[in-house]
Amino acid sequence: MNDSIKEQIRELLKKHNAVLLAHNYMRDEVQEIADITGDSLGLSIEAAKTSADVIVFCGVHFMAESAAILSPGKKVLLPRPDAGCPMADMVTAEGLEDLKAKHPGVPVVTYVNSTAEVKAHSDICCTSANATKVVKSLPDPKIIFAPDRNLGRFVAKSVPEKEFIYWDGYCPTHERMTVEAVLAKKAQYPEALFICHPECAPEVTALADQACSTSAMYDYCRTSPARQFIIGTEAGILYRLRLENPDKEFILASPALFCPNMKLTSLEDVLHSLQTLTPVITVPEDIRLRAKQALDRMLAIPRD
Ligand code: 13P
Ligand code: SF4
């Protein structure tokens, strides 16, 4: 059944000169069929440079919006338009403007996990892969960081010379992972390294051997001589970690690491989207242009 769906998807991708991008948290079978899998930064870069006419974005709404902002001539499809990000919805443009008014002249660094409208009210975007570099690139002694308070606090540790004003947003999936859950896994697997995402609460990140973006986790686990890893991010990352490292063991730090939005997209949804070339994600042109400036500033910073 899945094989026939996958075949139909491949044929339609070819027919429409479409590219299928999938975030590292997608269901295994969706990652398997994707042309490119990656983290938010990697997928933004792919969306900006692709020569495809259609981008099928298997991820959540803000990611497809970023693709639409960066590739205005292309049709961006989000097979499940109801796949949102609760963290992105924790900040509004009005709320951000109120905060800016309290801190005149302070630049706003906004995590890509945000709406196009919020990006349009920001000076520069960042992802978990480049947040520290983005913050360091600004000459200002003070910055507003939105919406993820945890990523903001994580970055602040590496940039002690700057003062941070945090928006009080967070990822419910990563915040569900408790210190107790991590300590229990560490006791069970004393040889294992603990790797987590900087969206985790600071007391959890403090226990990590490495805190990094999802793509950096692949590199870290591949090159590390360790054999066992306790993984503190959304469960979807296990698919490629296990595929790429068959001789290593990956243990999910907590069963709570499951993002319902990232799990919505099925192969059937992808097929339906390609058959109907819907739902198309668009961004009003005035918002798109301003949001693009914030994304372009981020993309101009060289990658490691
Ligand atoms: P990255 O893939 O950029 O590390 O982001 C994680 C995330 O939560 C995306 O929703
Ligand atoms: Fe949003 Fe967290 Fe889900 Fe990522 S994992 S989409 S940040 S809720």
Instruction: Say how many domains are in the chain.
Output: 3
The answer to the question of residue 190 being in a domain is: yes
- Whether the pLDDT of residue 1 is over 70: the answer is no
Supply the residue whose CA is at minimum distance from atom 7 of ligand 1: 40
Q: Are residues 144 and 215 in the same domain?
A: no
For residue 234, give the ligand 2 atom closest to its CA: 5
Tell me the CA–centroid distance for residue 40 and ligand 1, in Å: 6
- Who lines ligand 2 at CB under 6 A? 60, 85-87, 113, 171-174, 199, 234, 259, 261-262
Q: How many CB atoms lie within 10 A of CB 101?
A: 8
- Residue for token pair 């959890």: 204
What's the rounded Cα separation, in Å, for the pair 116 and 66? 7
What's the rounded Cα separation, in Å, for the pair 31 and 237? 10
Q: Containing domain of residue 150, as a range?
A: 87-170+287-299
pTM of the model: 0.96
CATH code of 43's domain: 3.40.50.10800
The answer to the question of residue 257 being in a domain is: no
For 190-205, what is each residue's pLDDT tens digit? Answer: 999 999 999 999 999 9
> Do you find a cis peptide bond into 147, omega within 30 degrees of 0?
yes
Probe residue for ligand 2, chosen from 234, 264, 265 as the CB with the greatest number of ligand atoms within 8 Å: 234
Judged by DSSP in three states, 227 sits in coil
Q: Are residues 31 and 159 in the same domain?
A: no
For 271-283, what is each residue's pLDDT tens digit? Answer: 999 999 999 999 9
Tell me the CA–centroid distance for residue 111 and ligand 2, in Å: 12
Helix ranges (DSSP H) in the chain: 2-15, 28-33, 40-49, 61-70, 93-102, 116-120, 131-137, 149-158, 172-175, 179-188, 202-205, 214-223, 238-244, 267-276, 285-299
Supply the residue whose CA is at minimum distance from atom 3 of ligand 1: 40
The answer to the question of residue 304 being in a domain is: no
Q: Are residues 78 and 91 in the same domain?
A: no
For 142-175, what is each residue's pLDDT tens digit? Answer: 999 999 999 999 999 999 999 999 999 999 999 9
Q: Are residues 96 and 162 in the same domain?
A: yes
- Whether the pLDDT of residue 188 is over 80: the answer is yes
- Check residue 92 and give its pLDDT: 98
What's the rounded Cα separation, in Å, for the pair 230 and 224? 13
The answer to the question of residue 29 being in a domain is: yes
Average pLDDT, the chain: 96
24 CB near ligand 1 (under 6 Å) = yes
For 233-251, what is each residue's pLDDT tens digit? Answer: 999 999 999 999 999 999 9
Q: Are residues 159 and 206 in the same domain?
A: no
